Amino acid sequence: MKVIIACKLIDEITPEDCDYIGVDKGALFLARQGIHMVCAIGDFDSVEQEDLKLIHQFSREVVCLNPIKDDTDAQAAIEKADSLGYQQMEILGATGGRIDHELINLRLTMQYPGRVILKDDRNLIMAYPAGTHHVKAGDYPYFSFFTQSEDVLTLHGFAYPLERRRITCYDLYTVSNQLIGETGTFINEKNPVLLIRSRDEKKDS
Amino acid sequence: MKVIIACKLIDEITPEDCDYIGVDKGALFLARQGIHMVCAIGDFDSVEQEDLKLIHQFSREVVCLNPIKDDTDAQAAIEKADSLGYQQMEILGATGGRIDHELINLRLTMQYPGRVILKDDRNLIMAYPAGTHHVKAGDYPYFSFFTQSEDVLTLHGFAYPLERRRITCYDLYTVSNQLIGETGTFINEKNPVLLIRSRDEKKDS
């Protein structure tokens, strides 16, 4: 079962048939859209009392975190979703603001390979456990691979193929690859790899 | 001598008494502001012919890169600035879009400790070589420390002090620290550490 976790920076949403968790201002955003949540979580220190009432109306459970360490909101939400048994977590509104928070969210994504997706207008991000993975072309045409630890990466069906290439967290070249055809395969041999699929801004923006 | 490197995503600038390098659309932005460049660099594949003429008028030198690998624009600009002898490089307009590009720019920053600053409305980012560093309070109140390799970090004068704590690229807790007073000290013993200073969005935005 999939849950959408709406974080502070969310500014639009297309409702889906799945469950929702709202994080801080993200919970207020969902409530204002009339979307019911299984849980609202956050320190809510930037939310007015009246808005908090609205959040309570739309949420089965409200978890108030200690405001001293507000940067762990997304982490708390992911752990909550995990404890509730959700296998897939799609996180919206967690990118594009403070880069320190963004990096922490990327590290969190690495801790839940195959389960957490970070998504915004330009980026679709997921970690893959060590293994062989097949990917398809889609709305986000650029493929960029990032590792935390050293790894060995193979890419087939890409414009810039690799054959058992050692990659580290210092490399600059595993970025902006594209599929040649409709599908491609990558093999990461040792550890989870972060795949960032991205697209350029639209011509009219 | 300091150079400001204006990248694609730049949308405003306060002219300073220093040199400028324009990267791709960033060069067009500078030219339109009437700012002269020591160099314009990029593949310029998203720039009209007429705009390219304008860039030539405002730039001492124009370097056209192969459009096949456009993601290395910032890297090429930093290497160019380095070869021209600039000790300080302030990079604007290189954050907030595609996260793959952003991560590469952070890795580049790590390769030039003490010399490259990545800056936007919310973030001020620099790598510090191993050693003892003193920092002052300022416009970006939150301090977050990130390492690529394992390191040993000490923080004095911070709300959350550390004493010779081992940190790795997996940690989630070295984020959103703040100074207690006007100054603080940090010691990273082994390798460069990335310091992201950040601030929350303004109340009116």
CATH code for the domain of A141: 2.60.120.320
**Model confidence over A37-51: pLDDT tens digits?**
999 999 998 889 999
Q: Do residue B169 and residue A169 have CB atoms under 8 angstroms apart? A: yes
Cβ of B139 under 8 Å from any chain A Cβ? no
Mean pLDDT of A17-44: 96
B33 burial (CB, 10 Å; 0-12 / 13-18 / 19+) is middle
Mutate one of A98, A102, A173 to test the B interface: name it (highest B CB count within 10 A): A98
Same domain, A42 and A73: yes
CA distance A36 to chain B (A): 27
Question: What's the complex ipTM?
Answer: 0.90
Same domain, B23 and B76: yes
For position B203, what pLDDT does the model report? 46
**Model confidence over A85-120: pLDDT tens digits?**
999 999 999 998 899 999 999 999 999 999 999 999
Give the Cα separation of B123 and B109 in Å (integer): 13
Comparing A37-41, A73-77, B200-204, the range with the smallest average pLDDT is B200-204
A110 in a structural domain? yes
Of the three residues A121, A137, A165, the one that is the final residue of a domain is A121
Of the three residues A121, A151, A170, the one that is the final residue of a domain is A121
Same domain, B133 and B70: no
pLDDT band at A3 (very low <50, low <70, confident <90, very high): very high
Give the Cα separation of B197 and B135 in Å (integer): 11
Q: Do residue A196 and residue B69 have CB atoms under 8 angstroms apart? A: no
The number of domains in chain A is 2
Same domain, A100 and A141: no
Mean pLDDT of A2-21: 95
**Model confidence over B6-61: pLDDT tens digits?**
999 999 999 999 999 999 999 999 999 999 999 999 999 888 999 999 999 999 99
Cβ of A102 under 8 Å from any chain B Cβ? yes
B189 in a structural domain? yes
Same domain, A143 and A59: no
pLDDT band at A205 (very low <50, low <70, confident <90, very high): very low
Q: Do residue A196 and residue B100 have CB atoms under 8 angstroms apart? A: yes
Quick check: B105 and B77 in contact, CB under 8 A?
A: no
Cβ of B13 under 8 Å from any chain A Cβ? no
Quick check: B159 and B144 in contact, CB under 8 A?
A: no
User: Which chain A residues are Cβ-neighbours of B108 within 8 angstroms?
Assistant: 172
Q: Do residue A172 and residue B72 have CB atoms under 8 angstroms apart? A: yes
Give the Cα separation of B103 and A123 in Å (integer): 12
User: Which chain A residues are Cβ-neighbours of B201 within 8 angstroms?
Assistant: 97
pLDDT band at B71 (very low <50, low <70, confident <90, very high): low
- Three-state SS for B167? strand
pLDDT band at B120 (very low <50, low <70, confident <90, very high): very high
- When CB atoms are compared, the residue of B71, B106, B123 closest to A176 is B71
CA-nearest of A176, A203, A124, A26 to B67 is A176
The A residues from 63 to 82 touching B (CB cutoff 8 Å) are: 69-72, 75
Look up residue B168 and give its two tokens. Answer: 């790795």
Is B205's pLDDT higher than 60?
no
B181 burial (CB, 10 Å; 0-12 / 13-18 / 19+) is exposed
User: Which chain A residues are Cβ-neighbours of B69 within 8 angstroms?
Assistant: 176
- When CB atoms are compared, the residue of B72, B98, B200 closest to A123 is B98
Give the CATH number of the domain where residue A87 resides: 3.40.50.10240
Order of all β-strands in the sheet with A39-42: A62-64, A39-42, A19-23, A2-6, A88-92, A116-119, A123-128, A193-198, A142-146
Same domain, B149 and B98: no
Cβ of B58 under 8 Å from any chain A Cβ? no
Tokens 């550890």, located at residue: A191
HEC letters along chain A: CEEEEECCCCCCCCCCCCEEEEECHHHHHHHHCCCCECEEEECCCCCCHHHHHHHHHHECCEEECCHHHHHHHHHHHHHHHHHCCCCEEEEECCCCCCHHHHHHHHHHHHHCCCCEEEECCCEEEEEECCEEEEEECCCCCEEEEECCCCEEEEEECECCCEEEEEECCCCCCCCCECECCCEEEEEECCCCEEEEEECCCCCCC
Instruction: Spell out the residues 6+ positions from residue A182 whose beta carbon is closer than 8 angstroms to its own.
Output: A136, A137
For position B129, what pLDDT does the model report? 97
Give the Cα separation of A24 and B114 in Å (integer): 36
Same domain, A108 and A28: yes
CA-nearest of B5, B45, B63, B3 to B29 is B5
Q: Do residue B98 and residue A198 have CB atoms under 8 angstroms apart? A: yes
Give the Cα separation of B125 and B149 in Å (integer): 18
Instruction: Spell out the residues 6+ positions from residue B17 whose beta carbon is closer than 8 angstroms to its own.
Output: none
| Closest residue on chain A to B168 (Cα) | A148
User: Which chain A residues are Cβ-neighbours of B200 within 8 angstroms?
Assistant: 98
Give the Cα separation of B152 and A35 in Å (integer): 45
| Helix, strand, coil percent content, chain B, rounded in steps of 5 | 25, 35, 40
Mean pLDDT of A151-158: 97
- When CB atoms are compared, the residue of A96, A100, A146 closest to B175 is A100
**Model confidence over A169-195: pLDDT tens digits?**
888 888 889 999 999 999 999 999 999
Q: Which domain holds residue B167?
A: 128-198
pLDDT band at B202 (very low <50, low <70, confident <90, very high): low
Give the Cα separation of A55 and B145 in Å (integer): 34
CA distance B76 to chain A (A): 12
